[in-house]
Structure 1
Amino acid sequence: MFEALARLAIRFRWLIVAAWVVGAVAGFRLLPGLSNLTQSSNSQFLSASSPSVQAAGLAAPFQARKPSGTAIIVAYRDSGPLTADDAAAVGRAEEAARQVPGVSLVTDAGISKDGQAAEALVTVTAAAANSSTASKTLVDGIRAGFVRAGAPPGLSFHLAGQLAQSVDAQTNTGGTITRFTLIFVVVLLFIVYRAVLAPLITLLPAALAVVVSGLLIAQLAKAGLAVPPIAQLLLIVLLLGAGSDYGLFLTFRFREELAGRAEPRQALVRAVSRVGQAITYSALTVAAALLTLLLAPFGVYRGIGPALAIGIGVLLAASLTLTPALLAIFGRAAFWPVRTKLESPKSMLWGRVAEQAVRRPWLTLAVGVILFGALAAGLVGYRTGGLSSSGASGTDSAAGASVLAGHFPTAGAADQLLLRFSSSVRGNPAMLADADGQLAAAPVFRSIAGPQVSPDGRTVQFLAVPSAGPVGSTAAAGSIPSATAALAAVAHNTGAQAYGVAGPDASAYDIYSASNASLLVVVPVVLLLILVLLGLLLRSLVAPWYLALTVGLSYLSTLGFAMLVFVHLGGNDGLIFVLPLLLFVFSMALGEDYNILVMSRIREEVHGATTLPAALTRAIGITGGTITSAGLILAGTFIVLGLAGGRSDSQELGFSIAFGVLLDTFFVRTLLVPSIAALLGRWNWWPSALSKPDVRTALESSR
C-alpha cells in the first residue's frame, strides 16, 4: 500500500503540491478562521447537572438579560488620589461602556481605600460572552470608550476580568506562538540538515496542515462543536512539532536510501514503504488518544480532543502525499550542499550509547528507574488549581489585574448563596434575619452581604466572601464543599426546598472536579488503545506492555517535576487543572511515536538475520539522530508555547510537555527501551514467529 502511495506521489507530484497550496490559500481567504469561533469561558463547558450550573439557575431572578460574563473597568492614578476631573472621566467611561452592544449592566464599585483607583463591574450577555468574535468586539468597544472619555493627564484606564483576559490571550498569543514556533523549527531544521531545501520540505506540509485543519475545525465549530481557545494554540504547536517529526522520519530515511546508492525515485519508494507504516501508526496512536477525550465529563476536553485529532488526520495526509511529492521534485538537491553518505551505526553517537546499554542492561535499567523515581517524588503534596487570575503578560488586562491586586485586594464578584422557597418569604423578616445570622456564624465565610429577595419573593440571595482566601483563588474554590454544607444546614433550618452556591469559586470547584473525573475515565482507555495499536504493529503481546509502562513512568516523572518547579519551588496554589490529563495524553501519544519508530526499525533489523544486540545497536544508531532531532524540535515547540503564551497556565503546560518529550527522547527511547529489549531477548516478539527458537536469527543466542 505505501509503495503504491509513493509511486502515486512521484507520478502526480506537481498536482499534489498545487492541490495543497491552492486549497490552503483558497480556504484561508474564503472560510472563517478558527479564532473567530472558539468559546472562551471554562464554566460554559460544565454539564447542566453540575452544582454550580444548577445554582446559577437559581440565581436567574437576580440577573438582567441573562448575563454570562464579567469584565472590570479599572481607573488608576499613580501620582496620588483621584481628582474631581478623574471622577468625571470615570463616569464618562462607564456611560460609554453602557452603550456597547452586549453590555447588560455597568455597576460603579467605588474607589480604593488609598483613593488612587476606581473600579466598575461590567456584566455582559451570554451571546457576547460565549462567542470569541462577539467578546472581542465588546472588549474593543469598551476600550474605545476609554479614549472617548478623555482621561486627564496621569489617569489610566484598563479593562480587566476573565472576559478581557480571554480576548487578550487569544489576540496576543496565537500569532506570536505561530511566528516563534516557525522561526524555531526552521532554525533547528537548518542545523539538523545543514542543507537549504530539506528544512523547507520538512516544514511546509506541517504548516499547510495547520491552515487546512484550522479551517476544517472552524466549520465544525460553526456547526456546533464547542472549541476552547487553548485548542487553537495546541493545534499550532502540535502540528508544527509532530509534522516536523514525521517529515524528519521520512526525509532522513530517504537520505539513508540515497546514501546506499539508490536512484532517487527508487530511494523514495523504499523510504515511504518502510517508514510510511510507522508514521501512520504514530498518527493513529496520537489521534486515537486524543479522541478518547470525547469520553471526558469536562466539556473543554471534549472540544480539544476531536479538534486536535482532525489536525493529526490532516497532518498524516500531508506527510504521506505532500512530503513525498516534494522529495520527488527535488531529489538529491534537497540535501545540497551536504553530500549523502552512509555511516556505520557503531560510529554514530547513539549507536555507541545503545551498545553500552545492551552490554549492561540491568545497570542501565536500574539507573533509569532511580532517576525517574526521584523525579516522581515531586508528586508529594500533589494538587491542582490554576484558573489564571491575570491576563497574558504585557496586555491591558494584565495591567488592570495588577492595579486590582494592589488597590482592591478583594476585587471581583462574590460567591452567591441561593435559597429557593415554595412560597414568598417577603412577609417573614425574622426567618431572613435568622438565615443571615446562621451564615454569618459559619467559619467558612469571612463576610456575608444580604439578603436580597427575588421579585417573586421565593428566592433569596446572599453574597459571601470565603475565609479560605480571596474570591477566585484555589483555596477559595477548595472551600466550596464546606460552604455548600453550611448552606444546606441553613436550608434545612429555614425550610427552603432548594439551595446552591454559584459564582466563580463554585464554577472553579466544579471545573477541577470534572477535570479530575476526566482523568480517571480517559487514562485506562488511552492505555488500552495504545496497547492494541502497538500489539498490531509489532505483532507482540509482550513489547507493548513495557513500552507503555516506560512512557507511564516518564509521565509520572514529568508530573513530579512540574509539581517541584511550579508548586513546591514556584509557589503556585497547584498545577493548572488541565495539565495532568493533557500531559498524560500527549506523553502517551507522542512518546509512542518514538517507540513505534524505534521498535519498527529493531524488528526490521532482526528480520535481516542479525543478532538482537546488533539489531538494537544498529536500530538505535540509525534512528537515534532522527529521534534526537525530532524530540528537540517537538520539545522546542512546546517551550515556545510556555514562553510566548504569556500566562502561567501556558507556561506550565508548555514547559511540562517539553520536559516530558525530552525525557522520552534522551532516556526512555535510547536507554530504557534497548535495555529492556536486551533483557527479554526473543520474548519481545511473543507470540509472533520471531519469538520461536528456530527462527533464523541470533535471538536464540541473545538469551
Structure 2
Amino acid sequence: MFHRLGHFVVRRAWWVIGAWLIAAVAIIGSAPALTTNTDQAAFLPKHYESIQAADVQQKAFPSDKSPSALLLFERTDGAALDANDQAAMDKVTQGLADKKIPLVEQVLPVSDQTGSYSKDHKYAMALVAIDKSKMQQPEYTDAAKKIREDGKELAAGSNLKFQVGGDAATALDQKESSDKAGILIGLGTVVIILLTLGIIFRSPIVALLPVVSVIIYSLVATGLIGFASDWFGLKADSSMSQILTVVLYGVGTDYFLFLMFRYRERLRAGDNRKEAVANAVGRVGEAITSAAGAVVVAFAVLVLSSLGMFKALGPSLAIAVGVTALASVTLVPAILCLIPQKVLFWPSKAWQREPSNARFAAIGRTVGRRPAGAALVSGLVMVGLAIAALGYQGTFDMAGSAMPKDKESMVVQNTMIKAYSAGAADPAHILLTSQNGNKIDVAGLQGYVNDLGKVDGVAAAALPTPDRGISKDGLTVDVTVVLKDQSTTNKAIDTIGKVRTVAHDEAPAGTKAYVAGTTSVLKDINTAMAHDYSLVFPIAAVLIMIILGLLLRSVVAPWYLMASVGLGFGATLGATTLVFQDFKGESGLMFMLPILIYLFVVAIGTDYNILMIARLREEAREGRSPREAASQAIRHGGPTVAAAGFILAATFGTMLLAGNTMMSEMGFSIAIGIIIAAFVMSMFFTPALTALLGRRAWWPGHGDVKGHGEEPTQLVGTTMPPEPVGRH
C-alpha cells in the first residue's frame, strides 16, 4: 500500500502540495478559535459532589457576590497598621468602588469585624467580587488588571504597599505567563530543529524543510482541533497551545527524519530522486503510520477520562499526530521529489557516500554478540530509576505551578498563608439544604458547627450571619469551614474527606449536606484520576499492543515491547521524582504528570521501538541471523533513532524555558522519557531481547522471512535491479 502511495505522490507532487495549501487556507479560515478554561471545577463530570454543591450554591445564592480578588495591604516599613493606614485603605477600597470597573460587583472595605486583619496587625485584606459568569472571558482578567493599576494609583503617596491576589489575579498572571511561555517554547523549538538538522545534514534547506512543512499542516491540525472543540464542547486548559506546538514540531521532525534517512539511503543505493522518494515512503510508511497509530490511540483513549482537561487534550493531540503522519507520507515526500538532491543537500556532498556509522556499528556488534548482557544492563538501568518512582507524591496547586513564584498573585497567596490561617483565603463551604420543605433552624445548628470545627485539620467553622449565608427561602444555609492548611495541599484534601464524612453523617434530620470549595473540587479530581489510571492505562496498552501485533504479524513481540515501554514509564517517573522532589525539594509533582508521562512515553517511545523492530525485521528478511539482524538494525536504524530522539527530547525540553514548575516538570519528564526510550530501550533493550528470542519473536507469523508482507520496491514502469543483500 505504501509503495503505491509513494508512486502516486511522486507522480502528482504538485497536486498533493496544492491540496494541502487549499486545505490549510479553507480550514483555518473557517475554524473557530481555540479557547482555554482555568476553572478546575469545569473539568469534572456533574455526578461529583463538588459540582453538585456548586449547583446548589448557585441556585440558593444567585446574587451572592463571592470574592474573586483579594486586596492585600501592608506597610512599606513592615510595622503594624494604624488608624492612618485604615484611612488610606478606605480611600483605596472606596476609590475602586467609585470607579465602576466593568464586571466588578462589590468592593468590601477592610474591617476589624470581618476578620480583615492578621493577628499581628501587619496585614489587612479587602475582598472584591467580580462577575464569575464571565470567568472565561477576557473581560474577567481585564477587571483584575484594572483593579491592580487603579489600586496602586490610589495607594500612591501613602505608607501602604498594595497587591492583588485571588482567582481573577491568578488567571491574569497565568495568562500573561502562558503567552510568554508559548513564545519562548515556539522559538526554542524552531531553533533546536534548525541547528540539529543543520549539523546532521549540513544543509540549510534540509533544516528548513520540516519547519516549513509543519507550518502548513499545523494550520490544518489547529483548525480541525478548533472544530472538534466547538462541536464536542471540549474544554482545554492553559497549557494546550504549548503542548500542541511541541508535539507538532517534535513529532513532525521525528517522522521527517524517519523518511529523510531512508531517502538518503536509497539515493546512495543508486535510486534516482523520484525512485528514492517512492521507495522511502514504501519502506518507512508503514512504520510511520503504525507509530502514529500508537500515539493517536494512546491520546484518543483520553476521551474515556473523567476529567475535561484530558478529554480535550487527548483528542486534540490525536488530531495533531494524525495530521502529522498524513503529511509525512504525502506532503513531505511531494516536496522532496521536486527538489534536486544537489540543491536539497547543498553545500554538503556527504549524502553521496555512506558513512561508516562507526559508533552505531560498534553498538550493534556489542548487542549482537552479547544480547543477554545488553538486555540485563539496560534493564537494570530502567529498573533502578523506576524504584525511585515509589517516592512519588502528587500535588494539586495548578495555579501556583503554572507560573513563576514572583508573580504578584503568588506573592499574595504565600503572604496570606503566613499572615493568616493557611486556608483562610479559600475556605470550604458546607451547604445544608432542607429535604422536607421546612426552613432550617440556623440557631439549632450550633452543635453541628461545633462538630465540624473539631475535625482534625479544621481551623474554624462558623454559622452563617443573618445578612449572609442564608437563602431567601430559608431552605439552604452556608456553613463556612476554614482549614488549617492551604486549600490545594494534600493535607487539606485529606481533611476535606473527613469534613465530608462529618457533614454527611451529622446533618440534622430532614437536611442534606454538600461540601463546596476548591479543596472539595480537588478531592473529586483526585478520585477521578484514580478512575482514569485504572481505565485509560490498560485500554491504551491493549490497543497499542494490537497495533504492534498487526504491524509485526506477531503475538510474542508486542508483549515484550510493551513490557519495555512500561519499564521506561517507571524509569521516567522515577527520574523526575529524584530531580524535583529529592534534589529540588518540591513537595510533590503535578497530579496529572503520571498520565502525561504514560501517554507520551508509551506512545512516542513505541515510535522508536517500532522503527527499530521494523528495521530488524527487514534485516532478518535479507537472510541474516537474529543476532546479525539486531546488529545491522542498530547500525542503520541507530542514527535515525538517535537524531529523532535527541530532537524530540530537546523540543520538549524547551518547556523548561516557561519558568514555571508545571511546564518544567512536564518538559523534563517527557524529555528524559524520550531519551530513555531512544537511547536505552530502542538502542539496547528491544534489539537485545529480539536477538535472544530469535525466530520465536515473530510467532505465529513469519515476519522475518523474505516475501511475507513485503511489496516490490520498484516504481511502476521502471526496471530497477533488485538491491543486493547487505547493501544499505
Q: Indicate the residue corresponding to 2:195 in structure 1.
A: 187
Is it true that 1:564 corresponds to 2:578 in the alignment? Answer: yes
Structure 1 residue identity aligned to 2:409: S
Task: Say if 1:387 and 1:496 are closer, same or farther in 2 by CA, change over 3 A.
Answer: farther
Q: Is the 8 A contact 2:486 2:492 kept in 1?
A: yes
Match of 2:126 among 111, 114, 120: 120
- Aligned partners of 2:459, 2:669: CA distance in 1, in Å? 36
Q: Is the 8 A contact 2:417 2:486 kept in 1?
A: no
Q: Indicate the residue corresponding to 2:220 in structure 1.
A: 212
1:561 is displaced (CA, Å) by: 2.0
Q: Is the 8 A contact 2:434 2:476 kept in 1?
A: yes
- Aligned partners of 2:281, 2:575: CA distance in 1, in Å? 38
Task: Say if 1:688 and 1:661 are closer, same or farther in 2 by CA, change over 3 A.
Answer: same
Q: Is the 8 A contact 1:376 1:560 kept in 2?
A: yes
- Aligned partners of 1:252, 1:465: CA distance in 2, in Å? 61
Q: Indicate the residue corresponding to 2:524 in structure 1.
A: 510
- Aligned partners of 1:220, 1:268: CA distance in 2, in Å? 33
Match of 2:256 among 235, 242, 247: 247
Task: Say if 1:549 and 1:331 are closer, same or farther in 2 by CA, change over 3 A.
Answer: farther
- Aligned partners of 2:75, 2:648: CA distance in 1, in Å? 45
Q: TM-score, normalised by structure 2?
A: 0.87
1:182 is displaced (CA, Å) by: 1.7
Task: Say if 1:640 and 1:89 are closer, same or farther in 2 by CA, change over 3 A.
Answer: farther
More deviation, 64-73/327-336: 64-73
Structure 1 residue identity aligned to 2:308: G
Structure 2 residue identity aligned to 1:56: A
More deviation, 417-426/379-388: 417-426
Percent of aligned pairs sharing the same letter: 30
Task: Say if 1:106 and 1:583 are closer, same or farther in 2 by CA, change over 3 A.
Answer: farther
- Aligned partners of 1:23, 1:148: CA distance in 2, in Å? 51
CA deviations over 1:409-444 (Å, ceiling 9, x no partner): 635220112222246776845522222222223334
Is it true that 1:375 corresponds to 2:389 in the alignment? Answer: no
Structure 1 residue identity aligned to 2:702: A
1:486-565 equivalences under 5 Å are: 486-491=502-507, 494-565=508-579
Is it true that 1:589 corresponds to 2:596 in the alignment? Answer: no
- Aligned partners of 1:28, 1:67: CA distance in 2, in Å? 40
Structure 2 residue identity aligned to 1:486: V
Q: Indicate the residue corresponding to 1:635 in structure 2.
A: 649
Is it true that 1:464 corresponds to 2:481 in the alignment? Answer: yes
1:113 is displaced (CA, Å) by: 5.2
CA deviations over 1:624-661 (Å, ceiling 9, x no partner): 111111111111121111x1333222221211111111
Structure 2 residue identity aligned to 1:232: S
Is it true that 1:577 corresponds to 2:616 in the alignment? Answer: no
Q: Is the 8 A contact 2:244 2:317 kept in 1?
A: yes
SS class of match (1:119) = strand
CA deviations over 1:453-488 (Å, ceiling 9, x no partner): 322222222211224x22222210122221111212
SS class of match (2:425) = coil
Task: Say if 1:195 and 1:92 are closer, same or farther in 2 by CA, change over 3 A.
Answer: farther
- Aligned partners of 1:605, 1:331: CA distance in 2, in Å? 29
- Aligned partners of 2:6, 2:416: CA distance in 1, in Å? 60
Structure 1 residue identity aligned to 2:360: W
Q: Is the 8 A contact 1:159 1:400 kept in 2?
A: yes
Q: Is the 8 A contact 1:350 1:670 kept in 2?
A: no
More deviation, 444-453/265-274: 444-453
Match of 1:450 among 439, 463, 473: 463
Q: Is the 8 A contact 2:68 2:130 kept in 1?
A: yes
Task: Say if 1:245 and 1:303 are closer, same or farther in 2 by CA, change over 3 A.
Answer: same
- Aligned partners of 1:66, 1:226: CA distance in 2, in Å? 26
- Aligned partners of 2:701, 2:427: CA distance in 1, in Å? 63
1:148 is displaced (CA, Å) by: 6.5
- Aligned partners of 2:101, 2:87: CA distance in 1, in Å? 22
Q: Indicate the residue corresponding to 2:273 in structure 1.
A: 264
1:55 is displaced (CA, Å) by: 2.1
CA deviations over 1:522-552 (Å, ceiling 9, x no partner): 1111111111100110111111111110000
Structure 1: unaligned runs, 5 residues or longer: 696-703
Match of 1:415 among 428, 453, 457: 428
Q: Is the 8 A contact 1:66 1:125 kept in 2?
A: no
Q: Indicate the residue corresponding to 2:208 in structure 1.
A: 200
Match of 1:436 among 449, 452, 464: 449
Q: Is the 8 A contact 2:436 2:510 kept in 1?
A: no
- Aligned partners of 2:493, 2:95: CA distance in 1, in Å? 32
Structure 2 residue identity aligned to 1:589: A
Q: Indicate the residue corresponding to 1:95 in structure 2.
A: 97
Q: Is the 8 A contact 1:72 1:119 kept in 2?
A: yes
Structure 2: unaligned runs, 5 residues or longer: 111-115, 709-728
More deviation, 139-148/174-183: 139-148
Task: Say if 1:636 and 1:689 are closer, same or farther in 2 by CA, change over 3 A.
Answer: same
- Aligned partners of 2:99, 2:12: CA distance in 1, in Å? 58
- Aligned partners of 2:687, 2:669: CA distance in 1, in Å? 25
Q: Is the 8 A contact 1:227 1:304 kept in 2?
A: yes
Q: TM-score, normalised by structure 1?
A: 0.90
Structure 1 residue identity aligned to 2:480: L
1:16 is displaced (CA, Å) by: 3.7
More deviation, 192-201/662-671: 192-201
Task: Say if 1:3 and 1:396 are closer, same or farther in 2 by CA, change over 3 A.
Answer: farther
- Aligned partners of 1:99, 1:629: CA distance in 2, in Å? 54
Task: Say if 1:553 and 1:146 are closer, same or farther in 2 by CA, change over 3 A.
Answer: same
- Aligned partners of 1:693, 1:628: CA distance in 2, in Å? 27
1:294 is displaced (CA, Å) by: 0.9
Is it true that 1:365 corresponds to 2:375 in the alignment? Answer: yes
SS class of match (2:398) = coil
- Aligned partners of 1:157, 1:575: CA distance in 2, in Å? 28
Structure 2 residue identity aligned to 1:382: Y
Structure 2 residue identity aligned to 1:465: V
Structure 2 residue identity aligned to 1:397: S
- Aligned partners of 1:87, 1:404: CA distance in 2, in Å? 17
Q: Indicate the residue corresponding to 1:481 in structure 2.
A: 497
Task: Say if 1:676 and 1:281 are closer, same or farther in 2 by CA, change over 3 A.
Answer: same
Q: Indicate the residue corresponding to 2:38 in structure 1.
A: 40
1:119 is displaced (CA, Å) by: 3.4
Is it true that 1:351 corresponds to 2:361 in the alignment? Answer: yes
Q: Is the 8 A contact 2:436 2:511 kept in 1?
A: no
Q: Indicate the residue corresponding to 1:699 in structure 2.
A: none
More deviation, 358-367/582-591: 358-367
Q: Is the 8 A contact 1:69 1:125 kept in 2?
A: no
1:149 is displaced (CA, Å) by: 4.5
Task: Say if 1:229 and 1:389 are closer, same or farther in 2 by CA, change over 3 A.
Answer: closer
Q: Is the 8 A contact 1:250 1:272 kept in 2?
A: yes
Structure 1 residue identity aligned to 2:549: G
Q: Is the 8 A contact 1:677 1:684 kept in 2?
A: yes
1:2-13 equivalences under 5 Å are: 2-13=2-13
Q: Indicate the residue corresponding to 1:50 in structure 2.
A: 48
1:318-337 equivalences under 5 Å are: 318-332=327-341, 333-337=343-347
Match of 2:58 among 27, 47, 60: 60
1:269 is displaced (CA, Å) by: 1.0
SS class of match (2:330) = helix
1:218 is displaced (CA, Å) by: 1.8
Match of 1:688 among 701, 708, 725: 701
More deviation, 513-522/13-22: 13-22
More deviation, 183-192/394-403: 394-403
SS class of match (1:197) = helix
Task: Say if 1:408 and 1:354 are closer, same or farther in 2 by CA, change over 3 A.
Answer: farther
Q: Is the 8 A contact 1:96 1:142 kept in 2?
A: no
Structure 2 residue identity aligned to 1:647: N
Is it true that 1:297 corresponds to 2:306 in the alignment? Answer: yes
Q: Indicate the residue corresponding to 1:599 in structure 2.
A: 613
- Aligned partners of 2:203, 2:278: CA distance in 1, in Å? 22
Q: Is the 8 A contact 2:434 2:440 kept in 1?
A: no
- Aligned partners of 1:270, 1:503: CA distance in 2, in Å? 60
